[in-house]
Amino acid sequence: MHDEEPITQDAPTGHACIQSYLRTLENVPGVYRMLNARSEVLYVGKARQLRARVANYARPSGHSARIARMISETTSMMFLTTRTETEALLLEQNLIKQLKPRYNVLLRDDKSFPNILLPRDHAFPQLRKHRGRKTVPGSYFGPFASAGAVNRTLTQLQRAFLLRNCSDSVFDSRTRPCLLYQIKRCSAPCVGYVTEAQYAELVADAERFLSGKSTKLQAELATEMQKAAEAMEFERAAALRDRIRALTNVQQSQGINPRGVPEADVIALHMQGGQACVQVFFIRANQNWGNRDFYPRTGAGAEEPEILQAFLAQFYDDKTPPRLVLLSHPLEDEDLVAGLLAERAGRKVELAVPRRGEKAELVANAARNARESLGRRLAENAAQSKLLAGMAEAFDMDAPPRRIEVYDNSHIQGANAVGAMIVAGPDGFIKSQYRKYNFKDGEVTRGDDLGMMKAMLRRRFERLQREDPDRQGDSWPDLLLIDGGAGQVAAVAEVMAELGVDDVALLGVAKGVDRDQGKEEFHRPGARPFALRRNDPVLYFIQRLRDEAHRFAIGAHRQKRAKAVGATPLDEVPGIGAARKRALLAHFGSAKAVSRAGLADLRAVPGISEAMAQRIHDHFRSGG
């Protein structure tokens, strides 16, 4: 690759500026960046032939309004050549995610999707939800659109196949069946109610169902049920009936179950009012495993083919594409995108825009969902815009806030303290921007709410000043909302003054008389406290913001407390993971007994090598 620094020019801008680069360019694959007078990246693009693509921008006419605006703002360009156009497409999408240029299409919500995992590391595998990298040996089924979709499916699969969902440590410690066995959602392998071979048959049936062989499986179960009834084994017949009913419930809850499409992602785009919604349906094993809507940024007016192509390249950046992707619109470079997805999947990936038949019906259904989802979002955004405008008026702000950050902290008598920040804007709550803050020993005094708030804000804004000193991105807030009164506001104002931040509005929300909701007092630096009318929509909006911050802070505190409850001194020994910790606790009965054990006793524990035994022995003898 070859990278060329931007050439700053005094006079030329727009077409003239772009024209001046043509003599230095060759017709090779690569990526170009267009920058404005403040050196902000306006646009990142890829080209099969760099010189030919840049020459198009140098033409004075024939551009869409969006491209014409972008050209007029361009004062310099940067170029990076690649070996192939596919390599250029990969680099383009990486730079878009990193730089977030104004005129590029950007997928803002790019979370991973959960799967169902049947692991192969245990004689009695646990049926469970899995998210993240597929490092555990076993069979993965998915993706599912949401954790809720996985949980609903798992509940039905437990009824149908009676597979355990408890952890290995719980499984190993059981001496009698748990409640799940009593309610017929587990076969109780933990206490030997089924043999390893019988359980393996249940696992095989579950895999067959999740692989799309449900019709054959249900027919076989129906035959078994009939035989059991004829043999007057009525209890077994009833159990088989319940399994068939549970399988039917799984299929019914999944809605659309196409017969002729075993595996596909159905992706449909709808645009309205300059905004876009992309709806993705996951079809696996001839079953609908849920759908998710996305609202990519449209790059100040991009057309459908460009939006859909950028979405595909970014959406499958960390996900394995299926064998078939059904689309609502054709792409600009279909062969190039198909090649990119095939490279990521390690096999052929087909892209299709169906016009008739079952596949076209699937796309039409996804398109209808996209249209309805975008309609709801536009209505919600209109209401949200009115509330933000109301906030600006109520609190004397120059303009409605685009980004509100709300801060809270949670602890019990100073223990397991955690700070929390939530973010809201014109699109509502931005959960991908939520942050938790843990406090190191000595950073704040135990139980010091003001100290925690100051430490949290100091860390937040020091990072902002480090990562985005020129405020080119959208990570700087317009308004800080603090859960507290005059003391908290004064403490935060002190931190902001120390950091030299004087243009971010600050507002404290304090409980009113008798801590009655609806009588909140609002505090601003250097101003007297005031209140809003009890039925003011802005007041309700602020209460929602504060309650969301409180919910998030409480949840973070509970997670930290739960982790602390399960912690033992063994967690501090280097090299002791979950498996070795279980082995030691099973052998000695408690962490305290481990700490007192002799070297020979430690060596006798399965999985503990001589070197590890020495390390554990030295750790507790030296005081850790």
pLDDT digits (tens, 9 = 90+) for 442-462: 676 776 788 888 888 999 999
Question: Which CATH number characterizes residue 61's domain?
Answer: 3.40.1440.10
- Complete edge-to-edge strand list for the sheet that includes strand 275-284: 287-294, 275-284, 263-272, 324-327, 350-352
**Domain check: are 94 and 224 in the same one?**
no
Output the CA–CA distances (angstroms, integers) from residue 472 to 87, 243, 441, in the order listed: 28, 58, 35
Amino acid at residue number 616: I
Query: Which tokens in the block code for residue 526?
Result: 């250097």
CA distance 413 to 138: 44
Predicted pLDDT of residue 218: 65
User: Residue 397: inside a domain, yes or no?
Assistant: no
Q: DSSP letters of 273-289?
A: TTEEEEEEEEEETTEEE
The alpha carbons of the chain give a radius of gyration, in whole angstroms, of 30
Among residues 375, 395, 413, the one where a domain terminates is: 375
Asked if 180 and 54 sit in the same domain, the reply is: no
pLDDT exceeds 50 at position 8: no
- pLDDT score recorded for residue 599: 86
Q: Is residue 320 part of a domain?
A: yes
Q: Which of 45, 29, 82, 86 is CA-nearest to residue 336?
A: 86
pLDDT confidence tier of residue 7, bands split at 50, 70 and 90? very low
Chain segment 46-89, per-residue pLDDT in tens: 999 999 999 999 998 889 999 999 999 999 999 999 999 999 99
Q: What's the rounded Cα separation, in Å, for the pair 419 and 417?
A: 7
Looking at the domain assignment, is residue 446 inside a domain?
yes
pLDDT category at 604 given cuts 50, 70, 90 is confident
For residue 110, tell me if it sits in a domain.
no
Looking at the domain assignment, is residue 380 inside a domain? no
Mean pLDDT of 224-250: 75
Q: Are residues 479 and 528 in the same domain?
A: yes
Greater confidence (492 vs 224) lies with 492
Q: How many residues does the structure list for the chain?
A: 624
DSSP category for residue 515? G
Question: Are 441 and 545 part of one and the same domain?
Answer: yes
Residue 183 has pLDDT above 50, yes or no: yes
Interatomic CA distance for residues 194 and 192, integer angstroms? 5
Looking at the domain assignment, is residue 164 inside a domain?
Answer: yes
What is the percent of the chain with per-residue pLDDT over 70, rounded to a whole number?
Answer: 90
Give the C-alpha separation, 480 to 406, whole Å. Answer: 6
pLDDT of residue 366: 94
pLDDT for position 624:
46
Tell me the pLDDT band of 9, cut-offs 50, 70 and 90.
Answer: very low
Does residue 489 sit in the same domain as residue 552?
yes
Q: Confidence class of residue 347 from pLDDT cuts 50, 70 and 90?
A: very high
Summarised one tens digit per residue, pLDDT across range 485-494 is 888 899 999 9
Backbone angles phi, psi at 275, to 5 degrees: -115, 160
Asked whether residue 390 is assigned to any structural domain, the reply reads no
What per-residue confidence (pLDDT) applies to 223?
Answer: 81
C-alpha atoms less than 13 angstroms from C-alpha of 30 in its C-beta half-sphere:
21
Distance CA 549, CA 555 (A): 10
pLDDT at 70: 94
Where does the pLDDT of residue 216 fall: very low under 50, low under 70, confident under 90, or very high at 90 and above?
Answer: low
Give the structural domain span for 579.
569-621
| Average pLDDT score over residue span 272-279 | 91
Summarised one tens digit per residue, pLDDT across range 526-554 is 888 888 888 888 998 998 899 899 889 88
Residues 333 and 318: their CA atoms lie apart, in Å, by 21
Answer yes or no: are the C-beta atoms of 264 and 238 closer than 8 Å: no
User: What type of residue is 26?
Assistant: E
Judgement on whether residues 500 and 414 belong to the same structural domain of the protein: yes
pLDDT at 270: 95
Report the mean per-residue pLDDT for the chain.
85
Amino acid at residue number 137: P
Last residue within a domain, chosen from 76, 103, 130: 103
Same domain, 215 and 337: no
For residue 426, pLDDT beyond 50: yes
The verdict on 449 and 496 lying in the same domain is yes
Determine which of 241-245, 319-323, 518-522 has the lowest per-residue pLDDT on average.
241-245
Residue pair 341/325 in contact (Cβ under 8 Å)? The answer is yes
Domain count, the chain: 5
Q: Which amino acid, residue 61?
A: S
Q: Are residues 339 and 235 in the same domain?
A: no
pLDDT confidence of 11, banded at 50, 70, 90?
low
Per-residue model confidence (pLDDT) at position 517: 60
Q: Which of 360-374, 447-461, 582-596, 607-621 has the lowest mean pLDDT?
A: 582-596
In-domain check, residue 17: yes
Q: What CATH number is attached to the domain comprising 271?
A: 3.30.420.340
CA distance 315 to 293: 12
* 18 plus 97 within the same structural domain: yes
Tell me which range, 81-95, 279-293, 409-423, 424-438, is most confidently predicted by mean pLDDT: 81-95
Q: Are residues 445 and 590 in the same domain?
A: no
**What pLDDT score does 579 carry?**
79
The candidate with the shortest Cα–Cα distance to 378, out of 280, 272, 269, is 272
- Encoding tokens for residue 185? 């959602």
Please state, in angstroms and as integers, the Cα–Cα distance from residue 271 to each residue in 93, 109, 208, 354, 439, following that order: 22, 17, 40, 20, 45
Pairing of strands 404-412, 479-483: parallel
First to last CA, the chain: 50
Residues 136 and 209 grouped into a single domain: yes
**pLDDT score of 536:** 87
Nearest to 420 by CA among 543, 559, 515, 567: 559
Strand 415-425 and strand 428-429: pairing? antiparallel
Q: What is the pLDDT of residue 351?
A: 96
